Homo-oligomer: A and B are copies of this chain.
């Protein structure tokens, strides 16, 4: 890291591997199919770490990302985003290449999937268990039935099950709250499955997605598949939620210090919204922050500094609010290491990681710039 000249995304590969191992073992122990979400790391190389642990099925959030991982030999890919019917031709092409899963939530979208398919396609119905983002609201049984009927009417589509991402787990502040929202979600999923079975749609599977419950809970009664993604890298948000320990955070951004302002108790770093994303979190102390701050240590980084955080952010600037002690240890030209609030959003900004043990590790952004990615930028 000593050679880092400008903001650089860092990957602690041993930590990522340990995170993968733990989640793989847990899913085996609980008898759950593990279909990790790859939108967090967006990297062939990190994807290959999952293969070391026998993972063969993955989740992505776009057709482009499905194509990227198919190019690295993944053959069982679920696009866990309400199907974008404008991309139906690209989706058909993918279905010729891999076992493909799609997500639907309206009869209209399913009807737009009619036509010739090169192979069978798994279709999951998105259920909104209470987060009110995407999906059919869990109590709208009529609509579930209507969508299920449409799916079975389009020949190569196979109705596979019910899928949710329970975003409400990110609002749970205690283990008891987390268990409660997770338990309620599972109850709603099972209720919809029963209602659909009663309408002739039997043997439906249940797939759930969020990292907090996958990491911390043991009760997955009725669930067939889990799709956590964030756990491979974790971040300051998961740390704040209690989902991970600090030493499980596997990605961070090294940022040069460009100015010190002892009068304000602040340092200015070269590291802004284009390096970290503008995602913030409100800590348990009610403070809005854009990252936790560490110092380089050995080949990696040390513990997050007490009383220190990225307090505000603009395009390239980060303002680190800190203590006189920390300020006294910093000089212009030093590096600090920022633990991002939301690693998925941060990683998305980068064409590559710098692994702490040396190599550069590419992401989809780097790949799309190459001939393989067929998306070299226009001049």
A369 touches which one: B263, B317, B376 (CB < 8 A)? Answer: B376
- Give A131's nearest chain B residue, CB to CB: B314
Interfacial chain B residues near A105, Cβ < 8 Å: 259
Interfacial chain B residues near A108, Cβ < 8 Å: 331-333
| Complex interface bits, A270-292 against B, C-beta within 8 A gives 1, otherwise 0 | 10011001110000000000000
Whether B279 and A90, one on each chain, are in contact in the complex, defined by CB atoms closer than 8 angstroms, is: no
A352 touches which one: B106, B366, B378 (CB < 8 A)? Answer: B378
Whether A112 and B333, one on each chain, are in contact in the complex, defined by CB atoms closer than 8 angstroms, is: yes
Interfacial chain B residues near A39, Cβ < 8 Å: 315-316
Interfacial chain B residues near A94, Cβ < 8 Å: none
- Give A360's nearest chain B residue, CB to CB: B378
- Give A82's nearest chain B residue, CB to CB: B258
A377 to B316: give the CA distance in the assembly, Å: 22
Asked whether any CB of chain B lies closer than 8 Å to the CB of A5, the reply is yes
A259 touches which one: B134, B331, B362, B367 (CB < 8 A)? Answer: B134
Whether B345 and A273, one on each chain, are in contact in the complex, defined by CB atoms closer than 8 angstroms, is: yes
Interface size on A, residues (CB 8 A): 75
Using known A-B contacts A82-B259, A256-B84, A369-B376, determine if residue A134 contacts B315 with beta carbons closer than 8 Å. no
Asked whether any CB of chain B lies closer than 8 Å to the CB of A234, the reply is no
Using known A-B contacts A81-B258, A84-B6, A344-B315, determine if residue A264 contacts B132 with beta carbons closer than 8 Å. yes
Whether B333 and A85, one on each chain, are in contact in the complex, defined by CB atoms closer than 8 angstroms, is: yes
Asked whether any CB of chain B lies closer than 8 Å to the CB of A86, the reply is yes
A278 to B368: give the CA distance in the assembly, Å: 22
- Give A363's nearest chain B residue, CB to CB: B377
A132 to B167: give the CA distance in the assembly, Å: 36
Whether A377 and B348, one on each chain, are in contact in the complex, defined by CB atoms closer than 8 angstroms, is: no
A319 touches which one: B83, B133, B317, B377 (CB < 8 A)? Answer: B133
A258 touches which one: B4, B84, B137 (CB < 8 A)? Answer: B84
A56 to B379: give the CA distance in the assembly, Å: 20
Asked whether any CB of chain B lies closer than 8 Å to the CB of A296, the reply is no
A278 to B290: give the CA distance in the assembly, Å: 12
Interfacial chain B residues near A167, Cβ < 8 Å: 314
Using known A-B contacts A62-B316, A82-B259, A368-B369, determine if residue A362 contacts B379 with beta carbons closer than 8 Å. yes
Q: How far is the CB of A270 from chain B (nearest CB, A)?
A: 5
In the complex, 8 of the A-B residue pairs with CB atoms within 8 angstroms, ordered by the A residue number, are A45-B379, A84-B270, A109-B259, A112-B332, A278-B278, A278-B345, A362-B379, A366-B376
| The 9 nearest A-B residue pairs measured at CB | A366-B377, A369-B369, A360-B378, A362-B378, A82-B258, A278-B278, A362-B377, A351-B377, A85-B333
